[in-house]
């Protein structure tokens, strides 16, 4: 099956596909609900190829909009409730979205007002609650759905780039389902499995690795609007979980939470950790906390629609702690020299992939697409790695400046650009430094402008209103100067060396 609407429509009607709190949602209910929303989109003039931006937490409403868009060939543009004005404006402008669907508010943020106040031409804003109220025009939805093809785009996921401006990775029906099917097959998912989804749906970790993989296997997904260690710990008593999935930070917070102590984890057969390198000590703690489970690493990228590498069944403890695993069947991996030539086993080079799940390209960025995916179809990840004789891949850092904080990819240049906009800042440069809980955090070195009395607290507050909260610098170091190259660029290697 290569189209997402077909996958949903063919699911067993009476089986429960999703649980959110005390609410169980059957596959047939989601199918009918998304039909109503799809019909609503058509009445609003949305057509095949049009972009619909979605801003919300991990809820059934988000999924209903996603499936509705997929049914009529519209493209979901993933937004995050952690975004603020700068990010919303860039992504909506860049994607050309004609409609935004949002939660009205979260915490003290009025998203409806924020998005409407952007006053972007040609963009209308609505809420989840305003969609799918009227009966569906099933004939109109069926006619629109008939025109949808497997290689049509279904989602644009924005991932920060080295320029500081997020790039939109355009994913297709075929690509997302290829990645999801490979993962479902690897994990041996079935209708008897129950897995939590506490990761964002605007990222492949949520929508592909969890939601679509579970849908392919007809497993039940338990939705948490956002990760909370206490609420996650309670699931082991109430939800009947058989799989536990998370990024290292989530695992650490769960294991340290008082409500997890004494939890019955005997039914958990697989624990998956992805999104950042897991320290051997964390893997050992997971093995001890889930005695009947196989602990697996997962490696994926937005540009390949989801996961491409996982720890194989039967891997030794040493191999699991040392490597990210082996590629899925049908996924080609290559360790390449700077010229693109394959390197021998044991040598370190850039990690490249060629896979059926590769993106269609970066939205409206042909040059960046060509740089990322070469003429032979290899995706250049920017990650440095080596392979051993058995095909296990071991990461050795990133060729780019990106660091991973709590499962979120952060490119310092995006935050540097914000800091540099402060009138009290002359120069700013950021690097990732080790952190025992989040894996890495951002440390930003700032040279104040002449006669400036800017403070660390002031700069953090300045950033807080302009970028997502996880991008706000955890540490700011004020300096009189920064190490520079002869051409005047900051020597980030020297800054990283200061931190070991």
Number of C-beta neighbours around residue 89 at 10 A: 14
- CB-side neighbour CA atoms (13 Å) of 68: 32
For residues 154 and 171, give the distance between their C-alpha atoms in angstroms, rounded to a whole number. Answer: 6
Tell me which residue has tokens 């800042």: 425
What pLDDT, on the 0 to 100 scale, is given for residue 421? Answer: 84
The pLDDT of residue 248: 83
Confidence of residue 384 (pLDDT cuts 50, 70, 90): confident
Q: Which residue has the higher pLDDT, 42 or 427?
A: 42
Tokens 């004005």 sit at which residue?
85
pLDDT at 295 over 60: yes
Degrees to nearest 5, angle at CA 318 with 312 and 324: 45
The whole-angstrom separation of Cα 408 and Cα 161 is: 13
pLDDT tens digit sequence for 402-431: 788 898 878 787 788 789 889 898 888 899
Using CA atoms, how far residue 446 sits from 415, 420, 440, in Å, is 12, 9, 19
Q: What is the pLDDT of residues 464-498, one digit of tens each?
A: 988 999 999 999 999 998 887 433 457 787 888 88
DSSP lists the bridge partners of residue 434 as 440
Where exactly are the structural domains of the chain?
A: 4-387, 403-498
Predicted local distance difference test score (pLDDT) of residue 398 = 65
Q: Which fold has domain 403-498?
A: GMP Synthetase; Chain A, domain 3 (3.30.300)
Average pLDDT, the chain: 92
Question: How are beta strands 439-448 and 425-435 bridged, if at all?
Answer: antiparallel
Highest averaged pLDDT of the listed ranges 78-82, 366-370, 393-397, 489-493: 366-370
Measure the N-to-C terminal CA separation of the chain; round to a whole number of Å: 49
pLDDT, tens digit (0-9, with 9 covering 90-100), for 44-92: 999 999 999 999 999 999 999 999 999 999 999 999 998 889 889 999 9
pLDDT of residue 12: 95
Q: What architecture (CATH level 2) is domain 4-387?
A: 3-Layer(aba) Sandwich (3.40)
Please report the pLDDT score of residue 67 as a whole number. 98
């Amino acid at each position: 099956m290569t189209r997402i609407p077909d996958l949903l429509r063919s699911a067993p009607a009476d089986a429960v596909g999703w649980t959110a709190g005390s609410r169980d949602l059957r596959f047939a209910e989601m199918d009918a609900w998304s039909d109503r929303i799809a019909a609503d989109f058509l009445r609003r003039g949305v057509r095949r190829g049009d972009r619909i931006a979605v801003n919300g937490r991990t809820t059934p409403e988000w999924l209903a909009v996603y499936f509705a868009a997929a049914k009529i060939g519209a493209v979901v543009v993933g937004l995050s409730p952690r975004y603020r004005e700068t990010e919303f404006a860039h992504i909506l402008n860049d994607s050309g979205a004609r409609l935004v669907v949002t939660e009205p508010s979260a915490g003290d943020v009025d998203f409806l007002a924020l998005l409407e106040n952007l006053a972007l031409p040609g963009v209308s804003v609505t809420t989840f609650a305003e969609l799918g109220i009227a009966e569906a025009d099933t004939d109109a939805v069926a006619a629109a759905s008939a025109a949808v093809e497997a290689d049509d785009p279904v989602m644009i996921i924005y991932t920060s780039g080295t320029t500081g401006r997020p790039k939109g990775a355009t994913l297709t029906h075929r690509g997302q389902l290829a990645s999801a099917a490979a993962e479902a097959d690897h994990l041996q998912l079935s209708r008897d499995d129950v897995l939590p989804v506490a990761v964002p749906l605007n990222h492949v970790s949520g929508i592909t690795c969890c939601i679509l993989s579970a849908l392919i296997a007809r497993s039940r997904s338990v939705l948490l609007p956002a990760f909370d260690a206490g609420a996650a710990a309670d699931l082991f008593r109430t939800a009947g979980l058989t799989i536990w999935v998370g990024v290292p930070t989530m695992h650490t917070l769960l294991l340290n939470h008082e409500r997890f102590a004494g939890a019955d984890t005997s039914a958990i057969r697989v624990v998956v950790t992805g999104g950042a390198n897991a320290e051997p000590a964390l893997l050992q703690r997971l093995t001890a906390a889930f005695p009947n489970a196989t602990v697996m690493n997962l490696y994926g990228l937005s540009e390949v629609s989801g996961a491409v590498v996982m720890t194989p069944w039967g891997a030794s403890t040493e191999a699991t702690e040392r490597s990210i695993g082996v590629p899925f069947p049908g996924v080609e991996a290559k360790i390449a020299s700077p010229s693109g030539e394959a390197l021998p086993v044991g040598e370190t080079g850039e990690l490249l992939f060629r896979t059926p799940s590769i993106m269609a390209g970066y939205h409206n960025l042909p040059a960046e697409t060509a740089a990322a995916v070469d003429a032979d179809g290899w995706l250049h990840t920017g990650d440095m790695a080596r392979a051993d004789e058995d095909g296990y891949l071991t990461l050795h850092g990133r060729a780019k400046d990106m660091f991973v904080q709590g499962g979120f990819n952060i490119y310092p240049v995006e935050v540097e650009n914000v800091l540099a906009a402060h009138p009290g800042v002359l120069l700013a440069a950021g690097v990732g430094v080790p952190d025992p809980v989040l894996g890495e955090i951002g440390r930003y070195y700032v040279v104040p402008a002449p006669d400036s009395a800017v403070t660390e607290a002031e700069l953090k507050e300045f950033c807080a209103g302009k970028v997502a909260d996880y991008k706000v610098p955890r540490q700011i170091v004020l300096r009189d100067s920064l190490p520079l190259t002869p051409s005047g660029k900051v020597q980030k290697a020297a800054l990283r060396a200061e931190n070991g």
